[in-house]
Structure 1
Amino acid sequence: GRGSVGIGTLVIALAVGYFFGIDPAVILGLASSPDLSSPAARSAQKPPASDEMATFVAKVLGSTETTWQTVFSEAGRRYQEPKLVLFTGATPTACGTGKSAMGPFYCPADQKVYIDLAFYRDLRERFHAPGEFAQAYVIAHEVGHHVQNLLGISDKVHAAQQRSGNKVAANELSVRLELQADCFAGVWGHRADSMQKILEPSETEQALTAASAIGDDRLQKQTQGQIVPESFTHGTSEQRVRWFKRGMATGDVRQCDTFSAASL
């Protein structure tokens, strides 16, 4: 990137992270050398000084803070930053034990974004989505879930899922929640690039390619050999790309209302 985090990298991360279909949310990772004076860096678990990926993640989280502080301020609200926890293997959380197999995730009970840095190796080697922007997308998507939590969207969705008593209906609501987080990640990418000019056109393409590679349909085809739409929890490759692109193109959270959309 030119300066801080490459937005192209961010977009890929945005696209990739969210599109893996990993519970409870998926993939959030951002970019470049972090501003250690930022709230994000101060709240992060202290990584080794030589851990470049850890500092990159803290930098990206700091970028999301700047973006969402502005968005909330425009709406007359105050943004409460999430905390960042880096771990390896497993870690206790207010949502239960977090494990590497879950991928990066957000816990609304303690408002923390949990990231196992080993996930980025999988992102590069298993999902063939290298690059800083892909890593950044991961974090932006998880922060999108934090924004949903602050706005009360997550609670409403979870309540509706419990009322439905229907697994298929609950999964459909989960897909809309995840696609909105993808769109929010795009909003971050748009605004971060507008403020800092950190996105190269080629990086955006990488991000979209990565997003396309990790939709529920492609992941199920790869792991199960068949596609079961009623079991989707994150959305298809096409849907994830579409909603991320909407947020990226507009930078407007009002364009991310997946719950009112007749078609995803």
Structure 2
Amino acid sequence: MRLDDFDNDINVEDQRGQSFGGGGGGGLLLGLLPMIGSRFGCGGIVVVLIIFAVFGGLGNLGGLVGGGGSSAPTRSERSGGAGGTGAAAACGVDAATKATCNAFSSAENTWEQLFARSGERFEAPKLVFYGGSGQSGCGAAMSAMGPFYCPSDQGIYIDTSFYDELANKFGAAGDFAQYYVVAHEFGHHIQTLTGASERVRRAQQSGSEAEGNAMSVRLELQADCYAGVWAAQNRNRLEPGDVEEGMTAAQAIGDDTLQRRGGGRVAPESFTHGTSAQRQAWLRRGLESGDPAQCDTFSGAI
């Protein structure tokens, strides 16, 4: 996909090379548990603790833990403001970082235009790079979480080493596969702006764990659809093979595929992001329609 270089005024922070309290995996896990609990309940915390104890970490959960959890958002500073390092410095570290900034900038411009057309107010998120471990408004960040969105500080958190894992471990290589990751997390920001994340949070608080998981699936599939909308709005920049790269990535990170890869049984009641087929279907819906209104995963069957 041929993307322009990032706009210099995007809000970017770079935590790479910084030291954060807690150090080891145990400290980071303790910082992560409140975020997991708010999204998946006590059962989710228990599952993660078991995985951590058995496998010595969060294993290949990757982006499954991150995503569209919800709490009250706060306005983020623009690039170069408090806490910001400036786009030029942060985005020029390496090719993967620059590609992430290009995709983030494109998504920001695209959604700002879509909001303007519908007369809605758009507020841009921030992009935060970290390496190995970091700190977000939702608690500790760690590479095993994969890319995630934190609504508390409206930040998209990415350790670019995830792209290597996506390509080498999950067989989803290519620039569009990486852009899909960024666009999906940007979709979670759109859900914060529209109130969808907050509605899901309230529903999860009042329902059972299974009901909460089902709502999480709908939220994640909508973010996939929004990623497709972004690509459709930039269709003239797509290159041969891009759509296939996106579909391969969506297939690789479906809940059923990940559970099979992990050697366990496929347990639909535990799904939080949707099956591979569902993720591909909603990404495709966004790609084919280019219309956010077609991304209503909360009405009817998915």
TM-score interval for Structure 1 and Structure 2 normalised by the shorter chain: 0.7 to 0.9
- C-alpha contact 1:187 1:251 (8 A) present in aligned 2: yes
Q: Hey, what's the Cα distance between the residues in 2 that align with 1:103 and 1:45? A: 24
Unmatched 5+ stretches in structure 1: 6-18, 27-36
Alignment of 1:1-264 (within 5 A): 1-2=1-2, 4=4, 22-25=64-67, 44=87, 46-47=89-90, 49-164=92-207, 166-193=208-235, 197-260=236-299, 262-264=300-302
- C-alpha contact 1:44 1:86 (8 A) present in aligned 2: no
| Equivalenced residues, count | 235
What's the TM-score, normalizing by structure 2? 0.73
What's the TM-score, normalizing by structure 1? 0.83
**Shift of the alpha carbon at 1:42?**
7.5
Unmatched 5+ stretches in structure 2: 6-60, 69-78
Q: Hey, what's the Cα distance between the residues in 1 that align with 2:88 and 2:138? A: 18
**Shift of the alpha carbon at 1:185?**
0.5
Residue 94 of structure 2 aligns with an amino acid whose one-letter code is: D
**Shift of the alpha carbon at 1:49?**
3.6
Residue 237 of structure 1 aligns with an amino acid whose one-letter code is: S
Q: Give every structure 1 segment of 4 or more consecutive aligned residues whose post-TM-superposition deviation is greater than 4 Å.
A: 41-45
Q: Hey, what's the Cα distance between the residues in 1 that align with 2:101 and 2:3? A: 15
**Shift of the alpha carbon at 1:55?**
1.1
Q: What is the DSSP-based 3-state SS (H/G/I as helix, E as strand, rest coil) of the residue aligned with 1:47?
A: helix
Structure-2 change in CA distance of 1:99 and 1:146 (3 Å): same
Q: What is the DSSP-based 3-state SS (H/G/I as helix, E as strand, rest coil) of the residue aligned with 2:237?
A: coil
**Shift of the alpha carbon at 1:206?**
2.2
- The RMSD of aligned alpha carbons is 2.4
Q: Which has the higher contact order (CA 8 A, sep 6+)?
A: 1
Q: Hey, what's the Cα distance between the residues in 1 that align with 2:114 and 2:91? A: 33
- C-alpha contact 2:62 2:144 (8 A) present in aligned 1: no
Q: Hey, what's the Cα distance between the residues in 1 that align with 2:65 and 2:247? A: 21
1:13 matched to which residue of 2? none
Greater CA radius of gyration, 1 or 2? 2
Give percent identity, aligned residues only. Answer: 47
Q: What is the DSSP-based 3-state SS (H/G/I as helix, E as strand, rest coil) of the residue aligned with 1:224?
A: coil
